[in-house]
Amino acid sequence: TSWRGFLMEPPIRRELITPAQAACMLGVPYSTVTRLCRDGVIPAVKVGRHWRIVRDRLCRMYGIPR
C-alpha cells in the first residue's frame, strides 16, 4: 500500500509476554525475570510500569521450542 508516494510496510507483529509467563517458561521465579529485564539480560520493554518480553527472542536466547 502506498500513501502519498511512500511505500508503507505493515507493522511487524510480535507476541509480547509478561514476566510471569516468562518465569513459567524458564522455570525461575518472577523476581529473577524482572531483575534480568531491568539489568538488560533479557531484552524487554516497559509499557507503563509493566515489563513486556518478546516471546520469540526469549525462546531463541534460551533454546525453548516455540
Residues 7-52 have pLDDT tens digits of: 656 556 679 999 999 999 999 999 999 999 999 999 999 999 999 9
Distance, in Å, from the CA atom of 50 to the CA atom of 36, rounded to the nearest integer, reads 14
Tell me which residue has cell 510500569.
49
Question: In this structure, are residues 60 and 43 in contact, taking their beta carbons and an 8 Å threshold?
Answer: no
Nearest to 33 by CA among 51, 9, 15, 7: 51
Q: What confidence score (pLDDT) does residue 30 get?
A: 98
Cell of 20: 510471569
Q: How many CB atoms lie within 10 A of CB 66?
A: 8
